[in-house]
Amino acid sequence: MKKMLATARIKQPHGLKGYVRVESFSGETRHLLKLKTILLEGKSEKKEFLVEDGILNGKSVLLKLKGVDTPEAVRKYVDWTVWVDRKKAAGKRRKEYYIADLTGCNVIFRGEVFGRIEAVCDADSKAFLEVRDVAGETYMLPFSGELFGKVNLKEKEIELKGSW
């Protein structure tokens, strides 16, 4: 399992002191307020920051990053991804999974490997699994209990049920 998880995105500057508005991927925000450090990743660059302050502002979170002190400085990081240590990520309930853990799992259909999960795409409140079958064809399948059964992250296997 991956040690770091992508949990949010930098959206825009807030105020004049260098606060960044952060949008959580999961909708959970409390874990973001407790962070002491974060790793930001842009298209071709990564940078680690100490978090000086965190404020809940409506449905979003404002973070003050050490050394980012003006709205102009924040703009460099707009649309960058916020990565945190797995232990600091939002908790998950039963039958919830981190996207990073599903990617790379084999999809098992009737006891045989049907394919492999290449990516997970979020659309509104539903996740879709991009599955590449053993013949190389790609399918976008909704990650639902109607279509998928047992998830075994230890073995990196997910059961595809019935006739789809």
- Please report the domains of the chain, with CATH numbers, ordered by start residue: 4-87 (2.40.30.60), 99-160 (2.30.30.240)
111/114 Cα distance (integer angstroms): 9
- 3-class secondary structure, 34: coil
Residue 31: band (very low, low, confident or very high) from pLDDT cuts 50, 70, 90 = confident
Contact 118, 136 (CB under 8 A): no
133/154 Cα distance (integer angstroms): 21
pLDDT the model gives residue 48:
94
Instruction: Please give the order of strands across the beta sheet that includes 157-160.
Output: 138-142, 126-133, 112-123, 106-109, 157-160, 148-152
Query: What does pTM read for this prediction?
Result: 0.65
Q: With 0-12 CB in 10 A as exposed, 13-18 as middle and 19+ as buried, what is 139?
A: middle
pLDDT the model gives residue 66:
96
Residue 79: band (very low, low, confident or very high) from pLDDT cuts 50, 70, 90 = very high
| Residue 52 CA from chain centroid, whole number | 23
- 3-class secondary structure, 29: coil
